[in-house]
Amino acid sequence: MLKYKIDVLEALKEKGYTSYRIRKDKLIGEAQLTKIRNGDIASKETLNTICKLLNCQPGDILKYVNTD
């Protein structure tokens, strides 16, 4: 199961991307923001956007946790 390694919204906020700015600039849709808040993995497109905004790789924000 994939999980977030970091608090994505907090990391975005530290880079100057508040929830308001993200919505205003239409960087990430509200449904995807809700998924992130709930700990659900966002869409591939949203992950691309997050990586671009944070200047990181997917492995920097996601980890695999074995649920056996």
**What is the C-alpha separation between 13 and 19, in angstroms, rounded?**
8
What does the pLDDT read at residue 42?
96
Query: In the predicted model, is pLDDT for residue 14 greater than 90?
Result: yes
Q: Provide the residue ranges of all domains of the chain, joining segments of one domain with +.
A: 2-64
Give the H or E element holding residue 56: none
pTM for the model stands at 0.91
What does the pLDDT read at residue 67?
85
Average pLDDT over residues 10-26: 96
Residue at token pair 């990586």: 51
What does the pLDDT read at residue 68?
78
Model pLDDT for residues 20-58, shown as the tens digit of each residue: 999 999 999 999 999 999 999 999 999 999 999 999 999
**What is the C-alpha separation between 62 and 13, in angstroms, rounded?**
18
CATH topology of domain 2-64: 434 Repressor (Amino-terminal Domain) (1.10.260)
Pick from 29, 56, 24, 60: nearest CA to 42? 29
CA 61 to chain centre: 8
